Chains A and B, each alone.
Chain A
């Protein structure tokens, strides 16, 4: 069965600083990878996903993530964060088995301060 590890439960950064949120996964079959974001008191929203093709995927608000198969990682990065990026970020994996079953990591709380 697949699993996802997000080692950092909380990442504090200053506004305009770069940030990296780490995600590693484990699976015996091919997978699709996702990052979802949860703003306070809201449901989750898709930030970006890797299905195939270029290993670097980008979101519309400046985040990017790179799929590294050899290291089984899908780290999320942003070169310059804003206060509004403060949220909980979840990495998730779905094994390619015929139907979607998302397995989530435990989440990383990104705290951006002025």
Chain B
């Protein structure tokens, strides 16, 4: 069983479109995250949710809107896609929001904006 899953694995779209990436974890964790990994492999946190509540919101354009319908899901919706949004997006989860918790990562979604 996959612990943290993301769909789709690949997403190719045109500039200006709106797209969503879904994330699900079956680990029973309380905290979920979204990260962006750019073409140079630099990984940066975007959002963090704990028990469906937003706790970290980095300086991300408001075209990005996370939604957590329940503790096991954290989806990412992106409006008006731009070329610079091309990246690999990783979802992760941890038992809770404590600083020392291990994060478990999904396989990533490679977004290409043309």
Contacts and interface: CB of A to CB of B under 8 A. Distances in A.
Contact of B45 (A36, A101, A106): A101
Interface size class of B (residues with CB under 8 A): 20 to 34
Interface stretch (A13-21, A39-47, A60-68): A39-47
Nearest to A52: B100
B88 to A, nearest CB: 9
Nearest to B6: A43
Contacts of B104: 46
A94 interface: yes
Contacts of A32: 99-100
Contacts of A97: 99
B86 interface: no
Contacts, number: 66
B42 A106 contact: yes
A101 B56 contact: yes
Interface residues of A, number: 25
B106 A43 contact: yes
B50 interface: yes
Interface in A74-99: 88, 90, 94-99
B47 to A, nearest CB: 11
Interface in B62-114: 90, 92, 94, 97-108
A100 B47 CA distance: 11
A45 B44 CA distance: 16
Contacts of B106: 43
Interface in B26-84: 31, 40-45, 48, 50, 55-56
Interface in A27-66: 32, 36, 41-46, 49, 51
Given A96-B99, A100-B94, A100-B99, A43 B108 contact: yes
27 contacts: A32-B99, A36-B105, A41-B108, A43-B106, A43-B108, A44-B43, A44-B90, A44-B92, A44-B105, A46-B103, A49-B100, A88-B41, A96-B99, A99-B48, A99-B97, A99-B98, A99-B99, A100-B94, A100-B98, A100-B99, A100-B100, A100-B103, A101-B48, A103-B45, A104-B42, A104-B44, A107-B42
